[in-house]
Amino acid sequence: MRYRSDDIHPVLWKAVDQLTGRMMTGEVSGTAVAAHQTEWFKEYGGETLRQLIAPIILLLAGFGMAAAKLPKVSCAIVILLAIVWIVASIVMKTVGNLREMTPRELELLMPELKFEGVGRAYAEAVLAVGQSSLSETTQRETLQELKRVMDEHERIEAVRSKLEQTSSTRIALLLEVDTLQRKVEEARDPEAKAIYEESLGVAQSRLAAKESQSALGERMEAQGELLRQSVLRVRDTLALPVSTSASDSGPLREALASVRSRADEVDRAVQEVESW
């Protein structure tokens, strides 16, 4: 199979694009670049050459016209059209393949991809799907289930980022509570003491809310790890030496049900945090 644009989550495509850029700037080992280029030409080179046959024939015809001393303007037009056709064909083929990839290409790129955690598990599972003997329909359905996992993972990371930004606020609140407690103890005027006590109560309520958010942050981290384990279960299931029919209906179905369940749990957890 070939992975299509909608088979793979944008996060993985972005990582592949970044890796391609690093290849062009020489940041990736020459061995990895050569292996990928060889695989790319093996997969797409024949198609590209077939598309270039017609414009190359036109180009040769242009040179033939020039050799036969036909009008220079006509020769130049034919040659120019052929060159434009060749360039356009190459560009269109290259751009068209930016969002297509074979499992073998992904396998060659994997060691160089800057991925970890759920992202790495997702990439490995995507590769396992492509290398499996499942029917193409089941492969694409499985890829869609895995894409949803990455959607939920991105939501988790967004929430965790927001919660981490509040950690400094929590420290500041602890200092405020400590300061207000001292002012309550030191206040001599009854009215001032009452006002400080009210302020202390408000600060303590704010601190309690921040503590709850901190607990939710830990829960988000735990949910992320559970997602990673569920994705790895899919990957490991696809590596089992079972028949295609068994893979379609047995362990794989159970693994995907687990992934779906975890994604639903994450969705509920994120909604809870976002409601704060």
- What is the chain's pLDDT, residue by residue, as a tens digit (276 residues)? 888 889 999 999 888 888 877 776 777 766 666 676 676 667 666 666 777 788 888 888 888 888 888 888 888 888 898 898 888 776 666 655 556 788 988 888 888 888 888 889 999 999 999 998 888 999 999 999 999 888 988 888 888 777 776 665 777 888 998 999 999 999 989 899 899 899 999 988 888 877 776 677 777 888 888 888 888 988 898 887 654 444 455 778 888 888 888 788 777 777 766 665
Predicted local distance difference test score (pLDDT) of residue 203:
87
Give residue 273's Cα distance to chain centre: 23
Say which residues have a Cβ less than 8 Å from residue 91's Cβ, sequence separation at least 6: none
Which has the closest alpha carbon to 103: 139, 130, 125? 130
Q: What is 101-126 written as a DSSP string?
A: B-HHHHHHHGGG----HHHHHHHHHH
What whole-number distance in Å separates Cα of residue 85 and Cα of residue 165? Answer: 54
The pLDDT, as a whole number, for residue 90 is 66
Q: Check residue 19 and report its DSSP letter.
A: H
Q: What pLDDT score was predicted for residue 247?
A: 46
Identify the pLDDT of residue 180: 92
Q: Which two tokens stand for residue 84?
A: 């434009």
Q: What is the pLDDT of residues 193-202, one digit of tens each?
A: 899 899 999 9
DSSP bridge partners of 101: 3
Q: Which amino acid is at 256?
A: L
DSSP 3: B
**Domains of the chain by residue range:** 1-114
Q: Report the residue count for the chain.
A: 276
pLDDT at 243: 44
Count other C-beta atoms under 10 Å from residue 103's C-beta. Answer: 18
